[in-house]
């Protein structure tokens, strides 16, 4: 008997994708027992996930030492781009100089890209795995790979929509595998604290 599965409920929209990984992860774990590798991964994933959730993102998947997070599935794409960059900066601050699992202090690199994807609404509701599909996912992964250590590097579109919200330093354009032309890169330096909305200001004043 043939089994027919229902097609996924999907929609096309703009989101911001963040990739983060540990610099030199393969060398770090080369001499570790698998239980030690597991302990290191679990603490790292937990710390990254906490920050991602704090800034309104969803962890789409963990792969080795890489974390893919998505921002803006249910919100404003400009705010999503801002929050993704702020999350990247906050992750690096949270991990900087911290001994994970009693084994290593780690360094990270982050790539952030904004663009159109197909969102699987059921995956987004049920936990994120396989949630988004589109070129922007690959772009964020490539940016993370090419990012200098301890930096957050963004694409031109992310920078464009957050230019008044994040301080950036322009980096030299970089040839990225699979692209016929160099890609503009920007390093995020710091994020402005968003102004409180009227209701929030009223609560603070009270």
Model pTM score = 0.84
pLDDT at 123: 66
At residue 198, does pLDDT exceed 50? no
Helical packing angle, 77-95 and 34-54, nearest 10°: 140
Please provide the CATH number assigned to the domain covering 10-205.
Answer: 3.30.70.1230
Q: Is residue 43 within 8 Å of 105, Cβ to Cβ?
A: no
Q: Is residue 148 within 8 Å of 24, Cβ to Cβ?
A: no
**Distance of alpha carbon 161 from alpha carbon 113, whole angstroms:** 11
74-110 per-position pLDDT tens digit: 778 899 999 999 999 999 999 887 878 888 788 899 9
28-47 per-position pLDDT tens digit: 888 888 898 898 889 999 99
100-142 per-position pLDDT tens digit: 888 878 889 999 999 999 888 776 665 566 778 889 998 999 9
CA angle 23, 159, 165 (to 5 degrees): 105
């Amino acid at each position: 008997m043939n089994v027919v599965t229902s097609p996924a409920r999907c929609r096309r929209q703009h989101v911001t994708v963040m990739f983060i990984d540990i610099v030199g992860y393969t060398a770090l774990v080369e001499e570790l027992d698998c239980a030690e590798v597991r302990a290191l991964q679990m603490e790292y994933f937990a710390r990254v996930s906490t920050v991602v959730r704090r800034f309104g993102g969803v962890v789409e998947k963990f792969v080795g030492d890489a974390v893919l997070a998505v921002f803006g599935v249910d919100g404003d794409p400009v705010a999503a781009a801002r929050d993704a960059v702020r999350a990247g900066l906050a992750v690096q601050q949270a991990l900087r100089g911290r001994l994970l699992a009693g084994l290593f202090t780690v360094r990270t690199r982050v790539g952030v890209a904004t663009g159109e994807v197909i969102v699987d609404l059921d995956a987004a509701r049920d936990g994120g795995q396989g949630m988004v599909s589109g070129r922007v996912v690959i772009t964020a992964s490539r940016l993370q790979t090419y990012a200098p250590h301890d930096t957050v590097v963004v694409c031109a579109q992310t920078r464009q929509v957050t230019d008044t919200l994040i301080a950036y330093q322009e980096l030299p354009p970089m040839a990225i595998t699979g692209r016929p032309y160099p890609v503009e890169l920007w390093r995020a330096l710091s994020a402005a604290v968003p102004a409180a909305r009227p209701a929030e200001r009223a609560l603070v004043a009270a």
